Amino acid sequence: MTNPKLAHYYLDHHTGSLFINAHSIGLSAADRIQTGIIGKIHSIFQRVINITVLENHLISLVGEEIGHGSLNILVNFPTHINLTTMGIKVGDVVIRVGESIVVGPIVISTERTKIWKPRKNFKGNLQPIETIMSSLEVLRNVALASDYLSGLGELIAFTCINGLKVSKTENLGSVAHIVLPHILELLKAIKSGHSHNIIRITRHLIGLGPGLTPAADDMLLGLMISMFYISENFTEIRIDTKKINIDIVSPISGQTTIISEEFLREASIGNVNEPIALLMENLLTSEKNIESSVRNVLSLGGTSGADTVFGIILGSYLMLSSYFFVREDFKNF
């Protein structure tokens, strides 16, 4: 047996149990773990266990390489361990006993766990608005030069300060071709502030695309989080982002996967996983780190990273163009 005093985990060969430590827990996840039955396993991947909890909410047990997130419990899973081979299965009950979370043979101590939440307010460290615009162009160019332009990533080429400047669309992929008209409508609805139109259009977008987090959902996540972060730090912008984000998520219940639904609800109040939070922080505060931050988000699974970056670009342009309009010098920019 590995000595627990000398390691972050140990395996009890008599019982087959793996005893391990959690390093951090997202703020939303912390609110969802209670003594007794926490929930049931929703899905299992090599380094992630998703758990459905009360009222159809979600938390995730993740390896350290996955990173922090509002729904994540960051666990020191040994690098050689594949969670799909640990003898647990979808539907298994997850419980909390004292300061431990028990998932089949895995016993996770939360005794020294720290609460994690993304930074959202950077007042005092903000770059000048013109520098942020330049950083946004760097972000866009890094994305365009990358190998991650499938899904909605191919629409990044159409982005501009006014939203989307669409030319030829006959070569677009099927998902981008279907989603594009709805995005154009949504941008108009957000600018006009018409809640009923935002809700109506979002209903058409939610769930479009394959995967656990469909492409249109990832785009909406990026859109909401960029609008939230910028409005949180630039009070001069008169777009009511909190109301718009409420409108966007209002029709999503049961319209997409539970994972995507949870991510969208969290994003609407400014909560996202660490790579996306760091990208927004660097966009607003640090020119030198923007390229690496973009690449980290682009590398997220499947087309999710590119879809999210596309949404971030759209939301950032939308908010910053509003800022320049308020200053009445947008035409001189």
If asked whether residues 166 and 291 sit together in one domain, one would say yes
Question: Within 10 A of 288 (CB to CB), how many other CB atoms are there?
Answer: 8
Number of H helices, E strands in the chain: 10, 12
Q: pLDDT per residue over 272-320, tens digit each?
A: 999 999 999 999 998 788 999 999 999 998 899 999 999 999 999 999 9
User: Please, what sign has the CA dihedral across residues 300, 304, 309, 315?
Assistant: negative
Range(s) of the domain holding residue 252: 129-332
Task: Give the separation between CA 290 and CA 236, rounded to whole angstroms.
Answer: 24
Tokens of 113: 């766990």
User: Of 91, 115, 139, which residue sits at a domain end?
Assistant: 115
- Tokens 């769930």 appear where? 207
Tokens of 264: 């969208």
Specify if 179 maps to a domain.
yes
Residue 286: the pLDDT is 87
Q: Which one, of 282, 259, 270, 274, lies nearest residue 131 by Cα?
A: 282
If asked whether residues 133 and 64 sit together in one domain, one would say no
Residue 164 and residue 314 in contact, taking contact as beta carbons nearer than 8 Å = yes
pLDDT band at residue 239 using 50, 70 and 90 as cut-offs: confident
Q: pLDDT per residue over 82-91, tens digit each?
A: 999 999 999 9
User: Of 115, 142, 163, which residue sits at a domain end?
Assistant: 115
Task: Give the separation between CA 179 and CA 217, rounded to whole angstroms.
Answer: 11
If asked whether residues 136 and 273 sit together in one domain, one would say yes
Task: Give the separation between CA 119 and CA 262, rounded to whole angstroms.
Answer: 20
87 dihedral zone (left: phi>0; alpha: psi -120 to 50; beta): left
Q: Note the residue count of the chain.
A: 333
If asked whether residues 195 and 306 sit together in one domain, one would say yes
Specify if 28 maps to a domain.
yes
Provide the domain count of the chain.
2
Specify if 4 maps to a domain.
no
